[in-house]
């Protein structure tokens, strides 16, 4: 089985670190010894100070660093919606059609996630700061070269492949930093940092639309590349890992692959991304088909990020109350309801803005609740490995989703141009809720078989009979 080194936190941060687990957690003891192994300290007594979590102090500057990372990766990437709307209307590149531009958008989101295991390998070899520095340089080069592109294939390679790779190199190593600095205040610190994607998305959608209107699309790309690069160096200067040691973590795990829970998770990632990326990228273009201006379309796209800023912390608090799987199920039920009841009949700007805010707050629930869901499915020892494997499927679906969305768009330029696309997105969110309900039944059935064994220790050695989940259809246990 291939292995790589990755910087990591203590055992109590393993749940929230998607790139690594402590050595004692990452080992794979037999189930009967798991509980005692989990309780062991992951480091020697000489390193105890390293794991005295300060719960503040310099940690607040680290929160600012992760906030800036989120703003200039996930937030900046959402700004592709204004470029997509412009490319579709202007025909910037000879020979390019709507499928080309949609695929470029999908690549900018998905390629880096597909390459997540490779990013983990590099992260383990060179550490957190050097990986983020490399990513900042790659992302800057990608957008700057895209601004000088004259052929469509050049846009594929720059704004598609290279930008996505740079984003992954920046964002993925930063996932496990905050839990090293916070324990009691971890939820509020994570909520503040997660707000970066919403703030960044709002800023880049509105600001780059103004630059695009006054100076053209290529100057918008240049301005975005310079702004991102500068802000990321502030984050690089501030970010600091408290871990001084590297450990070994599996890139893939055959036991995880053989688990029914993993393939339920894969279906969750795929159907969720089919709806998520369509809404993320298409709102600017959809608003223009209703007869509004490009700038009003950019505001609609920005409203998705405003919703994300306020909504994700609320979803996180709900998950603490009712369980991560249940909270996710509720969120995607409402995503389906809002898509069918608001997007499809929308004919005015206030309805579109309201829809975008609501969806921004709910449709990204998968990112907020993935770590606790993974720990329930696979236990703490295998959370990091399962995360890396799940990124591949999530990124692949994100790559295909914009193409599917635009393929469903009709040739009409009126309000019904995106009707098939909106129906598809609504069905995708409904399917996501169904998969989460199945996941909930599966987990309840496995918990029934496990008895008093903690899910964090791992229930993967248990086989759930096919009929067993049906016994829990009306079970309201929180999970």
Which uninterrupted H or E stretch holds 39?
A: helix 31-39
DSSP string, 85-124: HHHHHH--STT--HHHHHHHHHHHHHHHHHTHHHHHHHHH
Q: Is residue 457 part of a domain?
A: yes
- Taking only the tens of pLDDT, the chain with its 479 residues reads 444 333 333 333 333 444 343 333 333 344 343 333 333 334 444 445 555 677 778 889 998 999 999 999 989 998 888 898 888 887 778 888 888 998 999 999 999 989 988 888 888 788 889 999 999 999 999 999 999 999 999 999 999 999 999 999 999 887 767 777 877 776 677 778 878 888 998 899 889 999 998 999 999 999 999 999 999 999 999 998 876 655 455 677 788 888 888 999 999 999 999 999 999 989 988 999 999 998 899 899 889 989 988 888 888 788 878 888 999 999 999 999 999 999 999 999 999 999 999 999 999 888 878 878 888 888 767 777 788 888 899 999 999 999 999 899 888 888 899 999 999 999 999 999 999 999 999 888 887 777 666 655 566 666 776 777 777 777 777 77
User: Domain holding 225: CATH number?
Assistant: 1.20.1250.20
Instruction: Provide the sign of the torsion angle of the four alpha carbons 364, 421, 404, 135, taken in this order.
Output: negative
Instruction: Provide the sign of the torsion angle of the four alpha carbons 144, 274, 387, 338, taken in this order.
Output: positive
313 CB contacts (<8 Å, ≥6 apart)?
191, 194, 195
- Domain around 453: 3-26+51-472
Which uninterrupted H or E stretch holds 247?
A: strand 246-250
Q: Is residue 45 part of a domain?
A: no
Q: Is residue 37 part of a domain?
A: no
Q: Is residue 444 part of a domain?
A: yes
Give the whole-angstrom CA distance, residue 354 versus residue 103.
28
pTM for this prediction: 0.79
Q: Is residue 36 part of a domain?
A: no
Give the whole-angstrom CA distance, residue 256 versus residue 245.
26
Would you say 288 and 297 are in contact if contact means Cβ atoms under 8 Å apart?
yes
Q: Is residue 479 part of a domain?
A: no
Q: What is the DSSP letter of 348?
A: S
Q: How many domains does the chain have?
A: 1
- Which structure tokens are listed for 359? 């969806």
Q: Is residue 478 part of a domain?
A: no
DSSP string, 120-178: HHHHHHH-HHHHHHHHHHHHHHHHHHHTT--SHHHHIIIIIIIHHHHHHHHHGGGGGTG
* Residue 192: burial class (beta carbons within 10 Å; 0-12, 13-18, 19+): middle
């Amino acid at each position: 089985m291939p292995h790589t080194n990755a910087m990591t936190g203590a055992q109590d941060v393993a749940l929230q670190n998607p790139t690594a687990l402590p050595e004692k957690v990452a080992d794979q003891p037999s189930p009967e010894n798991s509980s005692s192994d989990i309780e062991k300290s992951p480091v020697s007594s000489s390193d105890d100070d390293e794991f005295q979590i300060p719960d503040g102090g310099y940690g607040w500057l680290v929160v600012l660093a992760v906030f800036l990372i989120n703003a200039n990766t996930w937030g900046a990437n959402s700004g592709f919606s204004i470029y997509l709307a412009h490319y579709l209307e202007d025909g910037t590149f000879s020979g390019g059609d709507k499928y080309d531009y949609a695929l470029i958008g999908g690549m900018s989101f998905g390629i880096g996630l597909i390459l997540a295991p490779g990013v983990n390998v590099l992260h383990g070899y060179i550490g957190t700061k050097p990986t983020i520095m490399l990513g900042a340089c790659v992302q800057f080069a990608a957008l700057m070269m895209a601004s000088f592109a004259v052929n469509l294939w050049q846009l594929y390679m720059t704004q598609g492949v290279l930008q996505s790779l740079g984003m992954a190199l920046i964002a993925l190593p930063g996932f496990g930093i905050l839990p090293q600095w916070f324990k009691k205040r971890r939820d509020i610190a994570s909520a503040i940092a997660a707000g970066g994607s919403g703030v960044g998305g709002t800023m880049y959608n509105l600001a780059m639309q103004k630059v695009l209107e006054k100076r053209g699309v290529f100057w918008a790309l240049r301005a975005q590349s310079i702004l991102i690069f500068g802000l990321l160096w502030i984050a690089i200067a501030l970010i600091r890992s408290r871990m001084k040691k590297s450990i070994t973590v599996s890139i893939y795990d055959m036991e995880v692959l053989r688990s029914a829970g993993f393939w339920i998770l894969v279906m969750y990632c795929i159907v969720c991304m089919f709806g998520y990326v369509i809404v993320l990228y298409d709102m600017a273009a959809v608003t223009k088909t209703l007869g509004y201006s490009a700038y009003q379309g950019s505001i609609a796209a920005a409203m998705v990020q405003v919703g994300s800023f306020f909504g994700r912390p609320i979803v996180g608090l709900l998950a603490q109350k009712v369980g991560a799987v249940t909270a996710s199920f509720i969120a995607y039920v409402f995503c389906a309801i809002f898509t069918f009841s608001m997007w499809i009949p929308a004919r005015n700007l206030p309805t579109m803005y309201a829809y975008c805010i609501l969806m921004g707050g709910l449709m990204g629930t998968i990112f907020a609740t993935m770590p606790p869901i993974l720990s329930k499915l696979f236990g703490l020892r295998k959370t990091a490995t399962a995360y890396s494997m799940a990124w591949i499927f999530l990124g692949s679906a994100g790559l295909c989703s914009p193409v599917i969305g635009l393929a469903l768009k009709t040739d009409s330029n009126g309000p019904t141009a995106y009707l098939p696309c909106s129906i598809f997105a609504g069905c995708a969110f409904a399917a996501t809720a169904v998969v989460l309900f199945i996941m909930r039944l599966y987990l309840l059935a496995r918990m029934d078989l496990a008895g008093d064994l903690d899910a964090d220790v791992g229930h993967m050695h248990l086989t759930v009979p096919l009929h067993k989940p049906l016994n829990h259809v009306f079970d309201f246990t929180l999970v």
